[in-house]
Structure 1
Amino acid sequence: MKFIELYRSIMQGVWNIGFVENTLDGVIDGEPLKIRWLEHECRDRWFADPFILDVTDDKIYVLVEEYYYPHKRGRLAMLTVDKASNKLLKVDTILELDSHLSFPAIIRRDGKILVYPENFKGGGLKLYDLDLEKPALVNARPISEALLTDAIYTELFGKKQIYSTEIPDPNGSTLGVYETDDAGKYVKVKEYHFPEKIARNAGDWFEYKGKKYRPAQESNTEYGHGISFQQIEETPDGLEFKELWRKSSPHPTMKVAFHTFNMYKGVMVVDCRGYRYKVAAGIINFFRRLFVKE
């Protein structure tokens, strides 16, 4: 047991976020990504699952999963980033529960900011108001009893829908479609099946120049290994997803995973994963390749 705990500790991941310098047209065309990675001095936590909250002349505000090592679980935070230097200026924890939190997806409605994070260990999907004065997520109300993973709400197709994978197969090949029942809760009404593990969302769906797009996670070999960037076509039978490109992490050293793409006000953000203990993890992986047949 102690050996297993030591192994897990050595192989523990660490994430960071970065801002894409390409144009959106360039991203859609599959150009090599040019990314400015967030600079920070935090050693007791990492940041992932970024969603752009706001952009000003000199700052970028980002909602993220903030994994705090002492608590061994994720919580949600708002990062204030200097736009010119890409340095982290401030971290405000906006929600912490006894269960893991991640993927703080945003809905902007009637001048309000609503957030519906992943919290399947807390039992279902909840919607919160973002109180910027505190700042904190407040007024939680359940919107689905399904154990959704990286859910995305959209009105791109003329109705209020949620698309998501769910427990027990969060990283698989089945994407569920959820609509409200008579009680106003989101329940599954349809499924889309992919030929590989690319069902899980990697960020908000969006429309650009009359075409609809979906960033998805590719998890064939590793959770969130890469991003599958898909164009969505509407047909009489439903939606079709055409992959435009697939990319793994472009970070020089953090190569394990690359699983979020979001944008707002012309700023695009991604994340990547490496190892907390790079040298030790590298040695273990070297011997695994020698002696273990995948």
Structure 2
Amino acid sequence: MSEVDVLVPENAVRRMHLVLAERLRELGHDVALVGAGTRDAGSSTLDRLLRFERNVLGVRINSLLDVIPDAQLSPARPQAALRLDLAGGEAAVPSPVLAPLFSGSLSLARAAWMLMRGQLPNVDILLDATRPVAHAEPMVDSRLSLLRGIDDVVAGMVTLMVAAAHRYPESGALTCGRPSGAMERPIDRQLISAYLLSMTPRQIGGAVERLVSHVHRWDVSYRFHKGGRVVDTGLLAGEPWITLPDDGKRFYADPFPFEWEGRHFIFVEDCPYGSDKAVISVAEVFANGTATVPRCILEEPHHLSYPQVFTRDGEIWMLPEGGSGGDLVLYRAESFPDRWVRHAVLIPDRELFDATLLEHDGRLWLFATERYGYGSASDTLVVFHAPDLQGPWTPHPANPVTVDRASARPGGRFVRVGDRIVLPLQDGTDGYGGALGLADLLELNEATVRLTTPVPILSPEKTTYPKVHTLNSTGQLEAIDRIVRVRRGKRRGTL
């Protein structure tokens, strides 16, 4: 256990400071919040813009930027092993010090300015103001709300800072070689101008689009392949795709094909329009390409998706995403494909998303993204391993493996392509569900996790194909989903 002082503005202790301190305490560190100067000069304008969204636009969120008026501060400890400077870099304190940079600036206002202009900030952690030791590309789920967007960036910063502090001095011995010169923070006039001239028009456009279209909805398409899968070629070329039919009142997503006794099934997330809770449904696909209408086979009080179905130990299992329920739950088919029972909680009390199973070198592995109560569920890759399916499941020491909107969240099963092991990964650069890439697993053991940079899936014309979200296949059947814009009242079309 090490002593860590977290330097915070004396007059603006925020929820993010408390969350960061608590997460380090959970890892065994002795943490104190220490007042160090006043708030960043640009934060007052940023706070006014955030209050505008709350009070005028009605954005409701339990934000990491909320000021906590009665937070308990402690005196600085000369013997502290490490200091985390979240007060803007103005305090003169002994080394070693870790501090965040937001796209090259000590000020969070720069990240806000970029978000308002439609750009995506990154985060670096610097040791003693010179040596970058960690880097993140946080996912921003909402591009039309400054309050929600900046919260995602701050959540990514907190996760990165916790990891860097917990690994110090190991992390301090490395450099990730990114920032060089510090960027100036934007002045108040620039912040206001960016909100009025860039963000406000996009907010209006988004409101109009939501009135006429189902914005957050997906198509599931499938085909019988002849050995040339998307994962083999990187292209959507080949046999034509068939769209899974619906009743115009719901969307399907996260397709997982499964073959059983010569029959073909596709398990999907099934979400009615206007609902924030989906169920798991199944459709049967026949040899002529037609399919039944998906029927519900699993429902919980919380949202379910990503119905990963597999066989092991003579049983058929499902490991769906249920992150909002707080546990990773394994289900067993009591009567396939219609009746499933909760079998075990594999990993309790963690918000894990799209956990994807792999058997490798005599162990089982799970790749997933994790949300620590705040921020996006799509940028923080974590890995667990176990001797068998029942566990115990052990967090990998490299967690979080990465904080990256373009290469963290799984988008389908691991696939073996010759000697390669390939994992589809979601790319949220253009928004959630914006694209899908294929990454090779280079190294995986109890000390190291290494993947290649994902290669985007391309259209038949070999141009980047946007809005693909999930890719899965069996021996004969292949399925994808994609974002589509459909006018309200219309049924989905074909690919």
Match of residue 381 from structure 2: 175
Alignment of 1:88-167 (within 5 A): 88-132=291-335, 135-145=338-348, 146-167=350-371
Match of residue 147 from structure 2: none
> TM-score scaled by structure 2?
0.49
Question: Aligned pair 1:45/2:262, yes or no?
Answer: no
Match of residue 486 from structure 2: 276
Alignment of 1:136-285 (within 5 A): 136-145=339-348, 146-168=350-372, 169-172=376-379, 174-180=380-386, 184-189=391-396, 190-191=398-399, 192-193=401-402, 197-234=406-443, 238-243=448-453, 245-247=455-457, 257-277=467-487
Contact 2:331 2:340 in 1 (8 A): yes
Q: Distance in 1 between matches of 2:421 and 2:361?
A: 10
Q: Distance in 1 between matches of 2:369 and 2:220?
A: 23
The CA deviation string for residues 2-22 of structure 1, in whole angstroms up to 9 with x for no partner, is: 999886564532212122546
What SS does the aligned partner of 1:170 have?
A: coil
Q: CA deviation at 1:55?
A: 6.0
Q: Distance in 2 between matches of 1:274 and 1:178?
A: 34
Q: Distance in 1 between matches of 2:229 and 2:475?
A: 15
The CA deviation string for residues 151-188 of structure 1, in whole angstroms up to 9 with x for no partner, is: 1111123211211111144221x32111349x944342
What SS does the aligned partner of 1:33 have?
A: coil
Residue identity opposite 1:44 in structure 2:
K
Contact 1:226 1:249 in 2 (8 A): no
Residue identity opposite 1:46 in structure 2:
F
Structure 1: any 5+ residue segments left out of the alignment? 280-294
Q: Distance in 2 between matches of 1:263 and 1:68?
A: 25
Q: CA distance change for structure 1 residues 195 and 223 in 2, over 3 Å: closer, same or farther?
A: closer
Q: CA distance change for structure 1 residues 56 and 42 in 2, over 3 Å: closer, same or farther?
A: farther
Question: Aligned pair 1:73/2:277, yes or no?
Answer: yes
The CA deviation string for residues 237-258 of structure 1, in whole angstroms up to 9 with x for no partner, is: 63432246303678xxxx8621
Structure 1 or 2: larger helix share? 2
Q: Distance in 2 between matches of 1:137 and 1:71?
A: 23
Residue identity opposite 2:471 in structure 1:
F
Contact 1:226 1:248 in 2 (8 A): no
Q: Distance in 1 between matches of 2:486 and 2:230?
A: 32
User: Which region of structure 1 is more displaced relative to structure 2, 222-231 or 2-11?
Assistant: 2-11
Contact 2:270 2:280 in 1 (8 A): yes
The CA deviation string for residues 16-65 of structure 1, in whole angstroms up to 9 with x for no partner, is: 212254634664233343441224242122211011121676x5311110
What SS does the aligned partner of 1:171 have?
A: coil
Q: CA deviation at 1:265?
A: 1.9
User: Which region of structure 1 is more displaced relative to structure 2, 100-109 or 28-37?
Assistant: 28-37
Match of residue 109 from structure 2: none
What SS does the aligned partner of 1:28 have?
A: helix
Q: CA deviation at 1:273?
A: 1.2
Contact 1:19 1:269 in 2 (8 A): yes
Contact 2:281 2:296 in 1 (8 A): yes
Q: Distance in 2 between matches of 1:276 and 1:264?
A: 29
Q: CA deviation at 1:222?
A: 0.7
Q: Distance in 2 between matches of 1:143 and 1:63?
A: 21
Contact 1:16 1:37 in 2 (8 A): no
Q: CA distance change for structure 1 residues 56 and 257 in 2, over 3 Å: closer, same or farther?
A: farther
Match of residue 237 from structure 2: 33
* Count of residue correspondences: 272
Q: CA distance change for structure 1 residues 193 and 165 in 2, over 3 Å: closer, same or farther?
A: same
Q: Distance in 1 between matches of 2:421 and 2:336?
A: 34
More relative contact order in 1 or in 2 (CA 8 Å, sep 6+)? 1
Contact 1:65 1:102 in 2 (8 A): yes
Q: Distance in 1 between matches of 2:457 and 2:408?
A: 16
Residue identity opposite 2:424 in structure 1:
P
Q: Distance in 1 between matches of 2:248 and 2:227?
A: 32
Q: CA deviation at 1:259?
A: 1.0
RMSD over equivalenced CA pairs, Å = 3.3
Q: CA distance change for structure 1 residues 49 and 133 in 2, over 3 Å: closer, same or farther?
A: closer
> TM-score scaled by structure 1?
0.79
Q: CA distance change for structure 1 residues 136 and 256 in 2, over 3 Å: closer, same or farther?
A: farther
Same amino acid, percent of matched pairs: 21
What SS does the aligned partner of 1:121 have?
A: helix
Residue identity opposite 1:262 in structure 2:
N
Q: Distance in 2 between matches of 1:152 and 1:194?
A: 17
Contact 1:249 1:272 in 2 (8 A): no
